Amino acid sequence: MTNNQILIIEEALRANLRNKFQNYNPEPAVMPFHTRLLGRDRLALYSFIQSLYTTFGTSIYEPVAKELGSLQFGSALLQQVSGNLISSEAHRVIQNIMDNLSTATSMPNKRDETEAIRAVCTQGDMKQVKPTKVDLKLITHDGTIYLIDIKTVKPNSGEFKGFKRMLLEWVAATLAINPEANVHSLIAIPYNPYEPDQYNRWTMRGMIDLDQELKVANEFWDFVGGAGAYIDLLDIFERVGIELRPEIDDYFRRFNNN
């Protein structure tokens, strides 16, 4: 990570927190027992953290990933459309893949699935589609495409069927534009909520190709920003947090004065 990238990320964190302070209004819920037990400042802080948590993906993770990827890759773009057409035969192949995975007739194999879609990506009728936008699109200097969906919460096992279909549709829409494209679609989870234990991947097994369709914590950040990017990011967040701690404490202390 370059010094300039570090400065850009640090300033983005400061600006994001300060902007959140300026526009934040705690929900006016009356919680008399909680308030008397914990204090209004702690309840306000809890509400603030919950609000911040829901916006971390678009306001922090995505722009940071784009900044890191801009040096490692030929192109790094946010909120991209994978394409707007998928062939009727590709739809059929995707449905067959989903049926086989759902019934455990086959195990996920992203390379084979991609080649099966490639073989029919322009056959049949071209159907207009509106797939979910790609959070982060990376293109290497040799043209390899990575389409990444950044998840900011722990997905439950029931959601992975929808995620899998989305990843396959991104591939189909990309190949409909360029059947020769070297395209990969995957899910990224910015941190491991189970640390120091390994990420609980078993909930995805049977639907997601764990080697080809999932990157967690350092796997993701080091892929985007190069070796050591994950540790560098944690250090940046810690430095900015220590720097802004007096501002944070002052801001929430006022809730006990009202």
Q: Which of 46-55, 106-115, 189-198, 224-233 is least confident? A: 46-55
Nearest alpha-carbon partner for 74 in 172, 171, 182, 167: 182
Q: What is the mean pLDDT of residues 147-168?
A: 87
- The pLDDT-based confidence of 96 (bands split at 50, 70, 90) is very high
End-to-end CA distance of the chain: 44
- Distance, in Å, from the CA atom of 107 to the CA atom of 136, rounded to the nearest integer, reads 27
Q: What's the chain's length in residues?
A: 258
Q: Are residues 55 and 88 in the same domain?
A: no
pLDDT at 6: 93
pLDDT at 61: 93
Q: What is the mean pLDDT of residues 215-229?
A: 96
Q: What is the mean pLDDT of residues 152-165?
A: 82
Q: Are residues 128 and 242 in the same domain?
A: no
3-state secondary structure of 85: strand
70, amino acid identity: S
- Report residue 37 CA to chain centroid gap: 37
- Distance, in Å, from the CA atom of 201 to the CA atom of 214, rounded to the nearest integer, reads 9
Q: Are residues 85 and 199 in the same domain?
A: yes
pLDDT at 251: 80
3-state secondary structure of 231: helix
Q: Which of 56-65, 79-88, 122-131, 143-152 is least confident? A: 56-65
Q: What is the mean pLDDT of residues 59-87?
A: 95
Residue 223 has pLDDT above 70, yes or no: yes
Q: Are residues 157 and 212 in the same domain?
A: yes
Q: Are residues 99 and 220 in the same domain?
A: yes
The most confident of the ranges 119-123, 155-159, 193-197 is: 119-123
Which residue range is the domain that position 90 belongs to? 73-227
Q: Are residues 145 and 196 in the same domain?
A: yes
More confident residue, 118 or 152: 118
- The pLDDT-based confidence of 113 (bands split at 50, 70, 90) is very high
Backbone angles phi, psi at 180, to 5 degrees: -95, 0
Cα-based distances in Å from 205 to 107, 114, 169: 8, 18, 20
pLDDT at 55: 78
- Report residue 104 CA to chain centroid gap: 27
Q: Are residues 1 and 84 in the same domain?
A: no
Q: Are residues 93 and 180 in the same domain?
A: yes
Burial class (CB within 10 angstroms; exposed 0-12, middle 13-18, buried 19+) of 244: middle
pLDDT at 27: 61
pLDDT at 35: 79
Single pTM value for the model: 0.89
